[in-house]
Amino acid sequence: MPTSTSNMDKLEASLLDRSTPLDNRFRTLFTIKGLATSSDDHLARAIQIISKGFSDDSALLKHELAYVLGQLEDVRALPVLRSVLSDLGQEVMVRHEAAEAMGAISCPSSLPILNEYLNDVDVSVRETCQLAIQKIEFDNTQKGKEIRQRNKLAKSENKIGDVEAAFAPIDPAPAMSSSEAALAAAAALEADSKDQDDSSSSSFTLESLPKFRSVYLDPSLSLFERYRAMFSLRNVAHSGGREAAREAVLCLAEGLKDSSALFRHEICFVFGELCHPASIPSMLDVLNDEKEHEMVRHEAAEALGGIVEESSQEGEASKDGFQNVFDSLKRWAEDMECPRVVRESCVVALDEMAYNNDPNQFQRVEV
C-alpha cells in the first residue's frame, strides 16, 4: 500500500516560499530528495514539487533543483529539464545543470534536444550537452549497462539503504579503469595498444594514479574521457589508502589550471565529495579569486562547507585552517559586490558548517 504523501505539503510550502532563508530551503530540498526513495508516490510528488521551483529568482536554488531532479533518475523529470535547458532566460548555470541532469537520467529520448544545444551561445552549456550525450550513449552500450548493473549490485551487497543510496551521486561520466586510461593515453599518442578491460575497484590504487593523471590533464582528449579520469582519481582517493588519497587530491588540484570553467567547477564538486583537508588551500584560492568564473567559485564555496567538518574529525585540519575557511566564507557571504550565486553559496556553506557541528540540528527524514 503506497505511503501517504500528505506530509510533503509542508515541505513544498517551505521549498517554494521565497521568504524562507535559503539555507533552510536547501535542507528542505534534500529532505524531499530523501523521501522520494520511500515509494513511487513520494517520487512522483517530489518531482512535481521540485518542478515548481524554476520560477525562483535564486540561480543557486534552481541549479540545485535541476541537480536533484537528475539524481532522482526518473524519466518523469525530463519534460521540465528540457524546458529549463530550452529557456534562454534562465541563468547559464541552471541550463547547464538541466543538461547534466538529463545525462544522469540517461534516457536516449533526451539526445535530440541535447544535440540541438551543442551550438549554444554559452560554452558551459555546449560542453555539458556534449558530456550528457556521450554519457547517455555510453550508458546504453553493453559495457555501460554492465557497469551500471555492477554499481547497483555493489550498493546492494554493501547493504546501503534506500535513503543513503539516494545521496550517492550519479556522476556525469563513469570512472575508467587503469587499462582504459592507458588506452586513452596511447590513443592520444597515436600508439597501438590492445584493450584489456579492467573495471574492478582494485584498479583504483596509488600505482594506477599516473595513468589516470595522464588522461585527466591531457587537453587533447575529449572532456568525457578527462571527466572519467577525474572520477577515477576520486575513487583512488576513496579506496587507495591514506597516501593515495593525498596524492589523488593534489593531482586533482592540478586541473584547476584548465581552460574550461566547466572542468574546474567539477573538480571543486569532487573536492566536496572527498572532504579531504589537502584540498582546502586550492579551494580557498578559487573562492578568493575574483577573476574566477562564478560557477567555479560557487562550487568551491559549497565544497569548503563540508570539508572542514569532515577533516576536523580526522584531526588533519588545523585550527588556523578552520578559521581561514570560516573567515573567507563569511567575507564573501557579506560582500554585496560579490556575485549573488557565490554569496549565497557561502551562506549555505556556513550553514552546513554550523549544522554539521551541532548534533541538535539533526533533521529526521519522516515517511
- Which of the four pLDDT bands, split at 50, 70 and 90, describes residue 358? low
Instruction: Among 139, 166, 188, identify where a domain stops.
Output: 139
Residue 155 inside a domain? The answer is: no
**Which phi and psi (to 5°) does residue 215 adopt?**
-75, -45
Query: Stretch 264-279: mean pLDDT, rounded?
Result: 95
DSSP 8-class letter at 17? -
Whether 321 and 211 share a structural domain: no
Question: Within 10 A of 86 (CB to CB), how many other CB atoms are there?
Answer: 13
pLDDT for res 102: 98
Contact residues for 277 (Cβ-Cβ < 8 A; gap 6+): 307, 311, 314, 316, 317, 321
CA atoms within 13 A on the CB side of 194: 1
Residue 146 inside a domain? The answer is: no
Residue 127 inside a domain? The answer is: yes
Residue 153 inside a domain? The answer is: no
Write out the three cell numbers for 114: 541535447
Whether 329 and 347 share a structural domain: yes
Say whether pLDDT at 161 is over 50. no
Whether 241 and 323 share a structural domain: no
Q: Would you call 361 helix, strand, or coil by DSSP?
A: helix
pLDDT for res 174: 93
Whether 265 and 295 share a structural domain: yes
Query: Quick one: angle between helices 340-356 and 59-72, nearest 10?
Result: 60
Is 268:286 a contact under the CB 8 Å cutoff?
yes
Taking only the tens place, the pLDDT of each residue in 177-219 is 888 887 877 776 654 444 444 444 458 999 999 999 999 999 9
Is 225:211 a contact under the CB 8 Å cutoff?
no
198-202 — which CB contacts under 8 Å span 24+ positions?
Answer: 199/146, 199/147, 199/150, 201/235, 201/239
The residue segments making up the domain with residue 290 are 259-362
pLDDT for res 116: 98
Whether 282 and 355 share a structural domain: yes
Residue 332 inside a domain? The answer is: yes
Alpha helices in the chain (DSSP H): 9-16, 22-35, 40-51, 59-72, 78-86, 92-105, 111-116, 123-139, 142-157, 162-166, 178-188, 209-216, 223-239, 242-254, 261-274, 280-288, 294-314, 319-333, 340-356
Whether 32 and 114 share a structural domain: yes
Whether 75 and 43 share a structural domain: yes
Question: Within 10 A of 27 (CB to CB), how many other CB atoms are there?
Answer: 20
Residue 168 inside a domain? The answer is: no
- Which of the four pLDDT bands, split at 50, 70 and 90, describes residue 154? low
Q: What is the mean pLDDT of the chain?
A: 87
Taking only the tens place, the pLDDT of each residue in 218-231 is 999 999 999 999 99
Residue in the structure block whose three cell numbers are 585552517: 321
Is 293:265 a contact under the CB 8 Å cutoff?
yes
Instruction: Among 87, 119, 139, identify where a domain stops.
Output: 139
Among the ranges given (68-77, 311-320, 325-334), the one the predictor scored with the smallest mean pLDDT: 311-320
138-145 — which CB contacts under 8 Å span 24+ positions?
Answer: 138/173, 138/174, 138/224, 139/106, 139/174, 140/106, 140/108, 143/197, 144/174
Whether 133 and 188 share a structural domain: no
Q: Would you call 259 helix, strand, or coil by DSSP?
A: coil
Residue 338 inside a domain? The answer is: yes
Instruction: Among 118, 139, 160, identify where a domain stops.
Output: 139
Cα distances from 174 to residues 73, 164, 238, 318, in angstroms, run 15, 20, 15, 34
Taking only the tens place, the pLDDT of each residue in 13-70 is 999 999 999 999 999 999 999 999 999 999 999 999 999 999 999 999 999 999 999 9
Is 131:224 a contact under the CB 8 Å cutoff?
yes
Whether 263 and 247 share a structural domain: no
Is 342:298 a contact under the CB 8 Å cutoff?
yes
Whether 268 and 356 share a structural domain: yes
Whether 108 and 185 share a structural domain: no
Residue 163 inside a domain? The answer is: no
Number of domains in the chain: 3
Cα distances from 118 to residues 88, 126, 224, 248, 259, in angstroms, run 14, 5, 14, 32, 19
Output the domain CATH number for residue 288: 1.25.10.10
Whether 87 and 122 share a structural domain: yes
Contact residues for 257 (Cβ-Cβ < 8 A; gap 6+): none
- Sign of the CA dihedral 66, 63, 237, 359? negative
Write out the three cell numbers for 242: 591514506
